[in-house]
Amino acid sequence: MNNLRRKTLAAASAVTLGAGLAVTGGLAPAAAAGPETSYLVLAPQGATTGKAAARVAAADGTVVASYDQIGVLVARSTNPDFAARVAGAGVESVASTAGLGTALDEGETVEVPAAQVAADPTREPLYGQQWDMDMIRVPQAHAVTTGRPDVVVGVLDSGISSTHPDLATQIAKDKSTSCVGGVTDTTEAAWNPTNSDHGTHVAGTIAAAINGVGVTGVAPGVKVAAVKVVNDDGYIFPEAAVCGFLWAADHGMRLTNNSYYIDPWELNCRNDARQRPVWQAVQRAIRYSQSKGVLNVASAGNSNYDLAHKITDTGSPNNGTPEERENLTNACLDLPAEAPGVVTVGAVGPTGAKSYYSSYGQGVIDVTAPGGDTRFRTQGARSTSTDGILSTTFNTVTRTNGWGYKQGTSMSGPHATGVAALALSAHPGMTPGQLSSFLERTAVAKSCPAGVYNPVPLIPAGPNAYDATCSGGNRNGFYGAGLVDAYNAVR
C-alpha cells in the first residue's frame, strides 16, 4: 500500500503563518518481571467486568481503567506471561497494545510575523485565503445559522490549544480531557497539545470564532471539546481511542471528528488473531457512542488506496519492520473509518477534483470535502501551499499560536463534521443515523472522471504513482454521495 498514509490523516506538508494477543488455557506459573505493558482485556459481550478484573489481579496485573459500559478493561502488568495467565472464564480476549501506536507525521512549519493576522473588527483577516469555505457555501449557511453552543463536537486528536485567540472562546473546557493511556485526565494542561498542532488545526476548521482575528470555522457557533488521544511521543494506542469514544458518549457530545486510524496496520484484519481484540474493543466503543446519540466522522486516509478492493498492505506496521501482507479481504478494515455507522470522508482540492492522495472506494466513501491539494492543481500545473487548508496552528517548540496550511483527509473530515454540526443546529433532534443520511442527501453529487485518474504522473515514484479508477454513478468511489454543502444542510 502506498505509504503516504500516516497516523493522523494529514499529508506531509504544512506551512504555518503566524496490539500482541491472548492465548487460551489455564493459569501459568508467575514469570520474572519484564517491562510494564498495557493490555485491553475484554469480558464476553454483554457481561460485567468483575470476573475479568479478578483474573487481571491474579495474573499480576493492575486495572487502570474500567469501561463497564462495553465490558473492556485497560490493564498494565510487568508479567511477560500476563496474556496467557489472564485468559479464562470471564475473559473473551486479551490484546497487548505494546507496539500498536503509529507516530504522527507532522509536516514543515514556517512562521511569519503576527502582524499579518492582526485583529480587524470588520472582518476575518485571513478569510480571503479560505477557498474551502466558499466551496461548500459556508457564507450562505452562516446567514441562516453559525451553529448552536449546545452542539458540542469531540475532537479526538492531539489536543487543542486553549490559548489560541481563534479558539479560546470555542472550547467546552468542562467536557475536555486527555485519554492518553486509556485513562482520563481533565486538567487543562493534560488536554492541551504537547508535540503536535494537528488537533488545533482540525478544531479551527470546525469552529474557529468570528472575532476579527485570523480565520473562521465551518460552524463557529458550536463548541469543540479536546479529547486528547495522542501521547507525548506522538503515538495513538487503541486504549486511548476507546477511552475517547466513551468519554464523548458520556459527556453529551453529538459528534466526534476522527482524523487518524487505529493500530499500526493501516488495515485491521478481524480474521488476524493479533488484531481481532483491538477490533472488538473499538467496535464496542463506537456502537456504545452511537447508542448515546453520537455521530462519528472519520477521514478516509492519504494512501490513494481503493478501500473497496483490498489486496495488499506493504507499508504496515508503521512503527516496526513492514510486513508483506497479501491476499487481503474485506475482513480487513480501516478503523475507525470503515466501522459501521461511521461517516467516511474523502478529500478534494481547490478544483473540486479528488486530491491526489485521498483514499477512495465505492461503498466506502460516504461524502467528500475540501482537504487541499498542494502538489498539483491539474496535470502538469504546479500549485502552492495556499492550495492547502488554512486553519489554526500551535508551534510546539516556541509554544505560540498561529495560522497555517495543511492538507490531507485529516482536513476534509472536519469540514464534514462542521457541516453536520450546522445541520444539527438548524434541525435538532436527529439521531446519528438520520444525521448521517441527511449529510449525504444534502451533498452535491459529483461524477466520476473519465478513464484512469492520475493528476501527478511520474511524481514521486514511477509512472503510475497516483493512478486511481472511479466507479459508480451519482454515488461513486471518489466522492460518495458528493461534496458536503453547508447551505443545503441548514435550509
Polymer length in residues for the chain: 491
**What is the model's pLDDT at position 4?**
33
End-to-end CA distance of the chain: 41
| CA–CA gap between residue 69 and residue 61 (Å, rounded) | 21
Report the DSSP beta bridge partners of residue 400: 395
> Which has the higher per-residue pLDDT, 406 or 104?
406
Burial status of residue 111 (CB atoms within 10 A of its CB: 0-12, 13-18, 19 or more): middle
120-137 pLDDT, tens per residue? 444 688 898 899 999 999
> Which has the higher per-residue pLDDT, 355 or 322?
355
Set of cell numbers at residue 98: 505494546
| CA–CA gap between residue 375 and residue 397 (Å, rounded) | 27
Asked if 465 contacts 456 with a C-beta cutoff of 8 angstroms, the reply is yes
Report the DSSP beta bridge partners of residue 407: none
Asked if 235 contacts 102 with a C-beta cutoff of 8 angstroms, the reply is yes
297-349 pLDDT, tens per residue? 999 999 898 999 877 776 666 556 667 676 677 788 888 999 999 999 999 99
- 154 pLDDT higher than 70: yes
61-101 pLDDT, tens per residue? 999 999 999 999 999 999 999 999 999 999 999 988 876 55
Residue 47 is classified by DSSP as -
Is 0.85 surpassed by the pTM of this model? yes
Number of Cβ atoms within 10 Å of the Cβ of 481: 21
**What is the model's pLDDT at position 2?**
39
Q: To 5 degrees, how large is the angle CA 192–CA 193–CA 197?
A: 135
